Amino acid sequence: MNVKISTQYTPVVDCIRSVYKTDSFIPLHEPRFLGNEKKYLNECIDSTFVSSVGKFVDEFEEKIASYTGAKYAVATSNGTSALHISLLLANVEQNDEVITQPLTFIATCNAISYCNAKPIFIDVDKDTMGMSPVALEIFLKENAEVKNQQCVNKSTGKIIKACIPMHTFGHPCRIEEIQKICKEWHIVLVEDSAESLGSFYRGQHTGTFGELGVISFNGNKIITSGGGGCILTNDEDLAKKAKHITTTAKEPHKWEYTHDMVGYNYRMPNLNAALIVAQLEQLDGFLKSKRSLAKIYKNFFQNGDIHFVTDPENAKSNYWLNSIVLKSKDQRDLFLDETNSQGIMTRPIWALMNKLPMFEKAQCGDLTNSEWLEERVVNIPSSVIL
């Protein structure tokens, strides 16, 4: 039992406790295993096919492609590996540049670094917390030119090969507008949809606007395979190459081990796929619960000085992590201290990527919105309500 402490944000604590009906510690987001998880795991174990070959891997790829509307899906060991392979498929090479947003999880920039490429940071929109198409277009017009069907950075002379917008906390960014800009500037669009399974922009699932899209199934996502991810694409050749590269680039043969390029051991194990197949069966119910929770939070915060983040225009969000925006950094820090002290897990948004030592020399556009949000955004408990 937590000792009752009266603070400025006790009403928020009381609201969250009333939702989850407990006086114990409430985590930010925990998985729910309410269906066939144990049944499918036991079936997988009994089959002895627990690594990257097995019926659950194939079933998962078919079902996630069908759900998102993508023609092809390739299961991977995690979302970061999916991003890495997607950039390789986009032909991102050493000394190339990749545009992304500074307000993102580190995995986005790590994947760029794995290719020995450099990030360029573009501002986000306040309402989506995802890449701003206006900021993207301004940066390109001021800093880039198209030469020989390639986008060239006028200040560095390097090729801007790809663009990775991220759908922050499951809220779709203005991806259709970004798609058009990337096409005009000959930049490969790779969607970081790690957090946005079940989110749609203008009726189309996130992760299907770019040449490639990525989803994560980490333990804190809406549905989980423990660790896992996938690559989405509508290009058959890219899908085949993705599956080949993630399976150590081994050429098919009954017994010989022949590899035709540098590959990666990035395939999702069948054991993890068994878990995610069971979770997929519950996705619609989880999404319904999350939207119900978001409605409770929206009603609670509507008359105060804390702003609750809701679906952006033309979008339907999965509300993976519910987010609030406070008035200032001081107010944010007080909120974090008081809620966590009372057994309610809350956390701030990520530190901006351009402030980390690995990326502090990266080229940046005007990051006014990103800096404003970094000081004010907090995530509050978002687990599916039982």
Give residue 253's pLDDT: 87
- pLDDT beyond 80 at 18: yes
Using a 10 angstrom Cβ sphere, with 0-12 exposed, 13-18 middle and 19 or more buried, the burial of residue 174 is buried
Q: Are 13 and 339 in contact (CB under 8 A)?
A: yes
Q: Categorize the per-residue pLDDT at 3 as very low, low, confident or very high, splitting at 50, 70 and 90.
A: low
The span from the CA of 334 to the CA of 327, in Å, is 11
Nearest alpha carbon to residue 86 among 266, 259, 253: 266
Q: What is the DSSP-derived secondary structure letter of residue 78?
A: S
Task: Determine the residue type at 370.
Answer: S
Segment 72-79 mean pLDDT: 98
The span from the CA of 310 to the CA of 172, in Å, is 11
Q: Are 172 and 129 in contact (CB under 8 A)?
A: no
- Please name the residue ranges forming H helices in 281-381: 283-301, 329-341, 368-374
Mean pLDDT of the chain: 96
Task: Report helix, strand or coil for 201.
Answer: strand
Segment 302-327 mean pLDDT: 97
Residue-range domain boundaries for the chain: 10-32+283-380, 37-280
Segment 75-100 mean pLDDT: 98
Nearest alpha carbon to residue 378 among 15, 129, 122: 129
Give residue 1's pLDDT: 45
Q: Is it true that domain 37-280 has CATH number 3.40.640.10?
A: yes
Segment 348-377 mean pLDDT: 98
Segment 235-241 mean pLDDT: 98
Nearest alpha carbon to residue 215 among 353, 100, 28, 225: 225
Q: Are 97 and 119 in contact (CB under 8 A)?
A: yes
The span from the CA of 24 to the CA of 342, in Å, is 9
- The tokens of 42 are what? 């036991």
- pLDDT beyond 90 at 341: yes
- The tokens of 260 are what? 């035709």
CB atoms within 10 A of CB 58: 13
- Please name the residue ranges forming H helices in the chain: 10-20, 37-47, 55-68, 79-89, 106-114, 133-143, 175-184, 236-245, 270-280, 283-301, 329-341, 368-374
Segment 28-45 mean pLDDT: 97
Segment 67-76 mean pLDDT: 98
Q: Categorize the per-residue pLDDT at 252 as very low, low, confident or very high, splitting at 50, 70 and 90.
A: confident
**What is the tens place of the pLDDT at every residue in 278-290?**
999 999 999 999 9
Helix (H) or strand (E) segment spanning residue 229: strand 229-233
CB atoms within 10 A of CB 2: 15
Residue for token pair 């290009």 = 235
Q: What CATH homologous superfamily does 10-32+283-380 map to? A: Aspartate Aminotransferase, domain 1 (3.90.1150.10)
- pLDDT beyond 50 at 23: yes
Predicted TM-score (pTM) of this structure: 0.95
The span from the CA of 373 to the CA of 378, in Å, is 9
Segment 60-76 mean pLDDT: 98
- pLDDT beyond 80 at 192: yes
